[in-house]
A and B are shown apart, each in its own frame.
Chain A
Amino acid sequence: MTDLLVASAVSKTYFDTVANDNVVALDGISLSIAAHQFVSVIGPSGCGKSTFLRLVAGLDRPTAGEITVSGRKVTGPGADRGMVFQEYALLPWKTTAANIEFGPRLKGLPAAERAAITKRFVELVGLKGFENKYPHQLSGGMRQRAAVARVLANNPTMLLMDEPFAAVDAMTRQHLQEELTAITAHERTTVLFITHAIEEAVFLSDRVIALSGRPGRIVADLAIDLPRPRRWDAMANDARFAAYRDELTRCIHGKS
Chain B
Amino acid sequence: MANILLTTRCNRSCPYCFAKSEMAGAAPDSRMSWENLIYVADFLERSGRQRVSLLGGEPTLHPDCVDFILHLLHRRFRVRVFTNGVLSPERLEEFRAHLASADVEQLNFVCNLNDPEQTPAPAEELDRVREFLAVMGPWTVAGFNIYRPDFSLDFIFDAVNRFGMKRRLRAGIAHPVPGQSAGFIRPEQLREILDRLFSFRPQFDAFRVQLSFDCGFPICKVTDEQLGWLRRSGGEAHFGCGPAMDIAPDMSVYYCFPLAGYRRRSLFEFDSVQQVEEHFAALRKQLASEVPGIYAECDGCRQREDGVCAGGGLCRAVNRLVREAPIRLSEIEDELAHLRLPV
A binds B: no
